[in-house]
């Protein structure tokens, strides 16, 4: 137990009791791994956000004479790519695309999936069967295959990538939200709410959502890293972001052939993908531990 | 019945609930669990009616049926002359102010994301009371059940002990100022010393607020202590009903006798070499024919297997469903029909 005093210890309970979110924040502040990963995420997000101001060069301006400059080259700290474009600038701009492609589908999945899952779980019966079996259809395909199939059918481009990935993530969130709802629905405090005359809306708002959102939020945060990897994967295959725009997966693909000329520059976008998805995973792990209610 | 008041607060008739056991792809009902099978009784204003029976005899289902948290298959429930089962949603919401339930599990019965003062205030907010006024009432009631609102009001359930949570549950049930409180094993999950405190609190509140209790428990000592009248249930049916004293002094039904005999005693003279009944109750999915207790009964007779016995009066206000006391088969082989004379609703 964190700040909470022992229940029977009446001497120690004096003073302001900690609220739930304050307890969560306190636990997070004592978790160095999550703090470092969170700091890294903030840095990545800021650098992507501020890319137009902090990037030293135009990410799309190349130079025939300066192709594949090594890391640490004069005036190009992270080298240049196969068309002589500044790698640092491209990584900064590429982060914007990758983060948008990684976060948007998960946010869409979280919103839509929670609504569908809670409705299916609370209504039960036929509604539940229809919603859940439909989700199972999407589940029948591996995530990568499904994303490739959808964006292959829709054609490349950012909007289609977002749509394809959203379709991948909605069913996953629905499952988690549905099972959490079914579990909470059977608890006595929901029956107590009904016994006091509360309507469906009030039960959903005060009793169900409050207890379902936590686990769904934690689950969704674990999916961000997967979404980033999938988005980069689609671009790598030529189904996502189209050149010449900078995107980490796409950069990885175009630099692939240069790996024998200069091994370190092509590794940079891969490293960026790795660090970002790792940071998201660590933060969601920390969040799960901190949000757990300990009796 | 020795009813001083004109009509009962609660009149239950032939209440029945069979839960389907589903199996297969099409989820058809393959079997039915006869959780509550033809239960009838009255609760009069100001009394405490105890309901006692082993685990799985349908006590908790009965509580949920009365409050219409589970819809019964058949039977009727009348609260102060009003038909609960036929009530419209609007009427039902109003009725819910008058009949409240205290749950058994102090852990699952409080929302972990609401502070206890919000948990208690929630019922009032549902009924249209302003948030601030609701919170004030909640804090007052928390104080009454022995939880200082300044100390505990903003706490979350996981920061409280089982006994404290049960006090919160009681406050939540009372905040709507009900007339009838259904207590479903309110102290079973608590330590003995805490049990006594909570029972005493319940007794005080009953006098203070002129409440009527329907007290469900498997613990005979508790039931004997709190109840005026007692109903003994076995596999979804009432086997005996009478005043707590009459049942304690002269239990008639072999099951009641066995229950009282198996209650632990402090008197070494009364120590038992072996329990008076053993084994678990039969499966309610496929209950024994005739009298449901006959498979564990020491005095089972051939006719017990044929038809279930109806409740017969053995003394003023003391009914037994057993052939040993000259009971006749219940009409049409159906469960006991009338535990009490037909209701004359006010």
B154 and A206: CB-CB below 8 Å? no
Residue B321 has pLDDT above 90, yes or no: no
Above 0.85 for ipTM, yes or no? no
Handedness of CA A223, A227, A233, A234 (dihedral sign): positive
B92 and A194: CB-CB below 8 Å? no
Q: What is the layout of strands, in order, in the sheet containing B74-79?
A: B28-43, B10-23, B74-79, B82-83
Handedness of CA A64, A67, A69, A75 (dihedral sign): positive
Residues 6 or more apart from B159 whose CB is under 8 A from it? Answer: A4, A5, A7, A17
The residue in chain B having the minimum alpha-carbon distance to the alpha carbon of residue A15 is B151
Burial class of residue B267 in the structure, from the number of CB atoms within 10 Å of its CB (0-12 exposed, 13-18 middle, 19+ buried): exposed
Using an 8 Å Cβ cutoff, are B80 and B346 in contact? yes
B103 and A8: CB-CB below 8 Å? no
Residue A54: C-alpha distances to residues A50, A67, B47, B96 (Å): 6, 22, 79, 64
> Which of A277-286, B189-198, B334-343 is least confident?
B334-343
The residue in chain B having the minimum alpha-carbon distance to the alpha carbon of residue A189 is B109
B161 and A206: CB-CB below 8 Å? no
B93 and A211: CB-CB below 8 Å? no
B122 and A198: CB-CB below 8 Å? yes
DSSP assigned state of B291: S
A19 min Cα distance to partner chain B (Å): 7
pLDDT in tens, A13-60: 334 455 677 778 888 888 888 899 989 989 988 888 887 888 787 777
Length of chain B: 346
List alpha helices for B6-82, DSSP H. Answer: 59-66
| Mean pLDDT on A129-143 | 87
Using an 8 Å Cβ cutoff, are A234 and B210 in contact? no
Strands (E) located in B44-165: 48-52, 74-79, 82-83, 99-102
**Coil, helix or strand for B238?**
strand
A195 and B97: CB-CB below 8 Å? no
Average pLDDT, chain B: 82
Using an 8 Å Cβ cutoff, are B283 and B300 in contact? no
Q: Does A276 touch chain B (CB under 8 A)?
A: no
Q: Does A17 touch chain B (CB under 8 A)?
A: yes
Using an 8 Å Cβ cutoff, are B230 and B263 in contact? no
Supply the pLDDT for residue A6.
40
Using an 8 Å Cβ cutoff, are A258 and A272 in contact? no
Using an 8 Å Cβ cutoff, are A102 and A224 in contact? yes
A294 and B158: CB-CB below 8 Å? yes
Residue (of B3, B67, B63, B6) closest to B36 by Cα position: B63
Rounded Cα distance, A68 and A64, in Å: 10
Residue A196 has pLDDT above 60, yes or no: yes
| Mean pLDDT on A179-207 | 86
Residue A125: C-alpha distances to residues B6, B167, B185 (Å): 44, 36, 31
pLDDT in tens, B77-104: 988 888 888 888 888 888 888 999 998 8
B109 min Cα distance to partner chain A (Å): 4
Supply the pLDDT for residue A50.
84
- HEC states along chain A? CCCCCCCCCCCCCCCCCCCHHHHHHHHHHCCHHHHHHHHHHHHHHHHHHCHHHHCCCCCCCCCHHHCCCCCCECCECCCECCCCCEHHHHHHHHHHHHHHHHHHHHHHHHHHHHHHHHHHHHHCHHHHHHHHHHHHHHHCCCHHHHHHHHHHHHCCCHHHHHHHHHHHHHHHHHHHHHHHHHHHHCCHHHHHHHHCCCCHHHHHHHHHHHHHHHHHHHHHHHHHHHHHHHHHHHHHCCCCCCCCCCCHHHHHHHHHHHHHCCCHHHHHHHHHHHHHHHHHHHHHHHHHHHHCCCC
- B36: which 2 tokens? 């509550």
Residue A110 has pLDDT above 90, yes or no: yes
Residue B271 has pLDDT above 90, yes or no: no
Identity of the residue in A8, A16, A195 whose CB atom sits nearest the CB atom of B69? A195
pLDDT in tens, A203-247: 888 888 888 888 888 888 888 888 888 888 888 888 877 777 888
- Crossing angle of helices A158-185 and A125-139, in 10° steps, is 140
Q: What is the layout of strands, in order, in the sheet containing B180-184?
A: B99-102, B180-184, B212-217, B48-52, B229-234, B237-243, B318-320, B312-315
The residue in chain A having the minimum alpha-carbon distance to the alpha carbon of residue B157 is A295
A191 and B69: CB-CB below 8 Å? yes
The residue in chain B having the minimum alpha-carbon distance to the alpha carbon of residue A209 is B113
- Residue entry with tokens 């199939």: A149
Choice between A188 and B29, residue whose per-residue pLDDT is larger: A188
B335 min Cα distance to partner chain A (Å): 29
B161 and A8: CB-CB below 8 Å? yes
Interface test with B, best of A2, A5, A7 (most B CBs within 10 A): A7
Using an 8 Å Cβ cutoff, are B308 and B292 in contact? yes
- Residue entry with tokens 């006749």: B328
The residue in chain B having the minimum alpha-carbon distance to the alpha carbon of residue A211 is B113
pTM across the whole model:
0.77
Residues of chain B with C-beta less than 8 angstroms from the C-beta of A197: 92-94, 96-97, 123, 126-127
DSSP assigned state of B309: B
Residues of chain A with C-beta less than 8 angstroms from the C-beta of B114: 206, 210
Q: Does B172 touch chain A (CB under 8 A)?
A: yes
Interface test with A, best of B115, B128, B152, B159 (most A CBs within 10 A): B159
Residue (of B46, B44, B47, B48) closest to B11 by Cα position: B44
Residue B306: C-alpha distances to residues A14, A272, B33, B331, B334 (Å): 65, 80, 21, 12, 12
Residue A72 has pLDDT above 80, yes or no: no
A198 min Cα distance to partner chain B (Å): 5
Q: Does A210 touch chain B (CB under 8 A)?
A: yes
Supply the pLDDT for residue B270.
65
Q: Does B48 touch chain A (CB under 8 A)?
A: no
Length of chain A: 295
Rounded Cα distance, A28 and A49, in Å: 25
Supply the pLDDT for residue B215.
92
Q: Which of residues 78-117 of B touch A (CB under 8 A)?
A: 92-94, 96-97, 100-101, 103-105, 107-114
Rounded Cα distance, B239 and B322, in Å: 8
DSSP assigned state of B331: G
Residue A115 has pLDDT above 60, yes or no: yes
The residue in chain A having the minimum alpha-carbon distance to the alpha carbon of residue B175 is A196
Supply the pLDDT for residue B22.
79
- Residue entry with tokens 């979804």: B236
Residues of chain A with C-beta less than 8 angstroms from the C-beta of B161: 7-8
pLDDT in tens, B127-168: 888 888 999 999 999 998 888 888 888 888 888 888 889 999
pLDDT band at residue A11 using 50, 70 and 90 as cut-offs: very low
Identity of the residue in B103, B123, B155 whose CB atom sits nearest the CB atom of A17? B155
Give the DSSP H/E element, type plus range, for residue B203. Answer: helix B192-209
- Residue entry with tokens 């909605």: A170
A-to-B residue pairs, Cβ atoms closer than 8 angstroms: 89
A161 min Cα distance to partner chain B (Å): 37
Residue B343 has pLDDT above 50, yes or no: no
Identity of the residue in B122, B155, B164 whose CB atom sits nearest the CB atom of A196? B122
């Amino acid at each position: 137990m964190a700040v909470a005093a022992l229940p029977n210890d009446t001497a120690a309970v004096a003073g302001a009791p900690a609220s739930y979110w304050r307890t969560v924040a306190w636990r997070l502040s004592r978790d160095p791994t999550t703090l470092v990963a969170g700091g890294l995420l903030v840095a990545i997000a800021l650098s992507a956000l501020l890319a137009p101001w902090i990037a030293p060069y135009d990410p799309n301006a190349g130079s025939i004479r300066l192709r594949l400059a090594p890391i640490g080259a004069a005036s190009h700290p992270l080298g240049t790519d196969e068309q002589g474009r500044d790698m640092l600038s491209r990584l900064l701009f590429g982060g914007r695309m990758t983060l948008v492609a990684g976060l948007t589908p998960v946010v869409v999945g979280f919103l839509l999936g929670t609504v569908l899952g809670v409705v299916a779980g609370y209504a039960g019966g036929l509604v539940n069967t229809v919603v859940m079996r439909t989700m199972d259809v999407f589940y029948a395909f591996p995530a990568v295959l499904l994303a490739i199939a959808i964006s292959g059918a829709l054609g490349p481009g950012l909007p289609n990538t977002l749509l394809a990935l959203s379709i991948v993530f909605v069913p996953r969130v629905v499952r988690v939200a549905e099972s959490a709802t079914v579990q909470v629905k059977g608890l006595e405090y929901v029956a107590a709410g009904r016994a006091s005359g509360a309507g469906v809306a009030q039960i959903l708002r005060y009793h169900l959502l409050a207890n379902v959102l936590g686990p769904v939020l934690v689950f969704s945060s674990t999916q961000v890293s997967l979404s980033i990897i999938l988005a980069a994967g689609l671009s790598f295959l030529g189904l996502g972001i189209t050149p010449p725009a900078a995107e980490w997966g796409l950069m990885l693909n175009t630099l692939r052939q240069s790996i024998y000329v200069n091994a370190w520059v092509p590794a940079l976008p891969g490293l960026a993908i790795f660090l970002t998805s790792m940071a998201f995973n660590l933060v969601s792990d920390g969040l799960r531990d901190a949000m757990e209610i300990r009796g | 019945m020795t009813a001083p008041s004109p009509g009962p607060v609660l009149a239950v008739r032939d209440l029945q609930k069979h839960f389907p056991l589903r199996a297969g792809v099409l989820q058809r009902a393959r079997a039915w669990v006869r959780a509550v099978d033809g239960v009838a009784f009255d609760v009069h204003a100001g009394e405490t009616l105890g309901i006692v029976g082993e685990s799985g005899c349908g006590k908790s289902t009965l509580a949920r049926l009365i409050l219409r948290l589970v819809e019964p298959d058949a039977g009727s429930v009348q609260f102060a002359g009003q038909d609960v089962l036929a009530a419209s949603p609007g009427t039902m919401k109003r009725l819910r102010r008058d009949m409240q339930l205290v749950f058994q599990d102090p852990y699952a019965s409080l929302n972990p994301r609401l502070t206890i003062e919000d948990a208690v205030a929630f019922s009032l907010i549902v009924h249209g009371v302003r948030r601030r006024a609701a919170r004030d009432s909640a804090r007052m009631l928390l104080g009454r059940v022995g939880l200082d609102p300044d100390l505990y009001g903003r706490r979350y359930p996981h920061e409280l002990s089982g006994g404290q949570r049960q006090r919160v549950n009681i406050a939540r049930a009372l905040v709507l100022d009900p007339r009838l409180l259904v207590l479903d094993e309110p102290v079973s999950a608590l330590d003995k010393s805490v049990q006594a405190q909570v029972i005493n609190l319940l007794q005080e509140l009953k006098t203070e607020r002129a409440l009527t209790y329907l007290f469900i428990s498997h613990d005979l000592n508790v039931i004997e202590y709190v109840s005026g009248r007692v109903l003994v249930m076995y596999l979804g049916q009432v086997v005996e009903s009478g005043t707590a004293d009459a049942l304690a002094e002269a239990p008639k039904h072999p099951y009641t006798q066995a229950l009282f005999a198996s209650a632990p005693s402090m008197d070494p003279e009364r120590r038992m070499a072996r329990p008076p009944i053993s084994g678990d109750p039969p499966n309610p999915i496929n209950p024994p024919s005739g009298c449901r207790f006959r498979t564990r009964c020491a005095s089972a007779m051939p006719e017990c297997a044929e038809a279930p016995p109806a409740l017969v009066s053995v003394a003023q206000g003391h009914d037994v469903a057993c052939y040993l006391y000259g009971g006749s088969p219940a009409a049409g082989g159906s469960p006991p029909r009338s535990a009490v004379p037909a209701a004359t609703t006010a």
